[in-house]
């Protein structure tokens, strides 16, 4: 049932999922793992509103603002699909990518940076994201991760909100509290009424508070409230992973995070170990609705426990 819902969600979003990695959020980039045959990936564009499109291929969702001033991309997916992304953009624009905004450091969102940098795009992100691209954490297997080449690094960095005027759109760049990572950004397209959240909000699976990259539960809740503040009843909320959805889904997600937090806190107060708390399945009644729960519920509970317990 859970698997069905993942595949169904991907299909509804227009994604052709041919590899299980398509549903993984922070999977290491498959590029460079020699010997693996490259899976066929189809890149699709779906209009969200105004001149803003969802671009789905391999990795986290991209949002693209198109028009005569050139293309602005939110995130860049994995490097091996950059050519296909450009080809897909040429179906809705002249394909000239001028600006990239990175929502966070993970490779499924920044992996294409070097390719788009070489094409002349100006990359924008938080200073912490830039630092982490230069000095990445080791991969899940303990292997060192190579730093991003200079051409793929952010040129414009910010820790304050700013607004870009492009293609008749007002693009609000919203730096967030440390949530999924410590370099999170959301992007709100005012006229199109589209909010790109990166992985701070995901429409499938539990949140990933990536503590190794500076993520925090407290910041995550603050950012979800920011999304609720920014959104109106008609806003299209475009998450890093999962279907494009709406403000009500963010409210439900935030309330779920608060409920799980309170359950974990209660058990910490009772002196329970992290193993005991995980075994008690404090997310159980949310699992069916959240989807892909098997992959992310225990990790989320462990992350919540670790922060509430005060250890790093």
Nearer to Zn ion, 106 or 130 (CB): 106
- In 106-243, where do the E strands start and end? 122-125, 156-157, 162-166, 169-175, 185-189, 194-198, 236-239
CB of 22 to Zn ion, least distance (A): 14
The DSSP bridge pattern shows strands 162-166 and 156-157 to be: unpaired
Supply the minimum distance, in Å, between the C-beta of residue 104 and Zn ion. Answer: 5
Crossing angle (nearest 10°) for helices 217-230 and 247-269: 160
- The region of 71-79, 127-135, 195-203, 252-260 touching Zn ion under the rule CB under 5 A is 195-203
**Stretches 29-37, 105-113, 125-133, 262-270: which one binds Zn ion (CB under 5 A)?**
105-113
Residues numbered 242 to 301 that lie near Zn ion (CB under 5 A) are none
Dihedrals phi, psi of 309, to nearest 5 degrees:
-75, -20
Cβ of residue 273: shortest distance to Zn ion, in angstroms? 28
3-state secondary structure of 108: helix
Choose between 106 and 132: whose C-beta lies nearer to Zn ion: 106
Between 16 and 55, how does the x/- string for binding to Zn ion read (CB under 5 A)? ----------x-----------------------------
- Shortest Å distance, C-beta 294 to Zn ion: 19
Kindly state the smallest distance separating residue 210's Cβ from Zn ion, in Å.
Answer: 7
Sheet holding 194-198, edge to edge: 162-166, 169-175, 185-189, 194-198, 236-239
For Zn ion, how many residues bind (rule: CB under 5 A)? 3
Residues 137 and 255: their CA atoms lie apart, in Å, by: 31
Nearer to Zn ion, 26 or 76 (CB): 26
Residue 106 within binding range of Zn ion, rule CB under 5 A: yes
Q: Tokens standing for 215?
A: 């993520």
Q: How far is the CB of 237 from Zn ion (least distance, A)?
A: 16
- Provide CB contacts within 8 A for 302, sequence distance 6+: 274, 278
Among the residue ranges 37-45, 103-111, 213-221, 267-275, the one whose residues contact Zn ion (CB under 5 A) = 103-111
* Element housing 295 (H / E): helix 293-309
How many residues does this entry show for the chain?
Answer: 312
In the bound complex, what is the minimum distance in angstroms from residue 103's beta carbon to Zn ion? 8
Q: Which is nearer to Zn ion, 26 or 113 (CB)?
A: 26
User: How many Cα atoms sit within 13 Å of 75 on the Cβ side?
Assistant: 33
Build a one-symbol-per-residue string for 62-91: x at contacts with Zn ion by CB under 5 A, - elsewhere.
Answer: ------------------------------
Q: Other C-beta atoms within 10 Å of 160: how many?
A: 7
Q: Select the span of 92-100, 101-109, 168-176, 258-266 touching Zn ion (CB under 5 A).
A: 101-109
Residues making contact with Zn ion (CB under 5 A): 26, 106, 199
């Amino acid at each position: 049932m859970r698997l069905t819902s993942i595949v169904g969600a991907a299909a509804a979003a227009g994604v052709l999922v041919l590899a299980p990695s398509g549903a993984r959020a922070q999977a290491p980039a498959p590029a460079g793992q020699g010997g693996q045959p490259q899976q066929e990936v189809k890149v699709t564009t779906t209009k969200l509103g105004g001149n803003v499109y969802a671009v789905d291929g391999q990795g986290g969702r991209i949002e693209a603002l198109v028009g005569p001033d050139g293309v602005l991309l939110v995130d860049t997916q994995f490097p091996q699909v950059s050519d296909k992304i450009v080809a897909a953009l040429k179906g809705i624009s002249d394909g000239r990518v001028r600006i990239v905004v990175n929502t966070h450091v993970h490779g499924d969102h920044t992996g294409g940076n070097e390719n788009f940098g070489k094409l002349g795009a100006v990359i924008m992100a938080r200073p912490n994201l830039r630092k982490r691209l230069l000095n990445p954490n080791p991969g899940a297997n303990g292997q060192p991760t190579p730093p991003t080449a200079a051409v793929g690094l952010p040129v414009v960095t910010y820790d304050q909100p700013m607004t870009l005027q492009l293609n008749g759109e007002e693009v609000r760049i919203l730096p967030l509290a440390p949530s999924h990572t410590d370099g999170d950004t959301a992007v709100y397209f005012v006229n199109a009424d589209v909010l790109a959240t990166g992985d701070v909000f995901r429409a499938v699976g539990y949140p990933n508070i990536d503590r190794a990259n500076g993520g925090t539960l407290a910041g995550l809740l603050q950012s979800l409230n920011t999304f609720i503040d920014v959104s109106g009843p008609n806003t299209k909320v475009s998450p890093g992973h999962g279907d494009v959805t709406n403000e009500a889904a963010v409210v439900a997600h935030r309330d779920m995070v608060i409920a799980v937090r309170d359950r974990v806190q209660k058990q910490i107060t009772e002196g329970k170990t992290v193993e005991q708390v995980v075994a008690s399945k404090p997310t159980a009644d949310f699992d069916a609705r959240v989807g892909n729960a098997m992959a992310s519920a225990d990790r989320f509970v462990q992350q919540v426990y670790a922060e509430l317990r005060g250890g790093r």
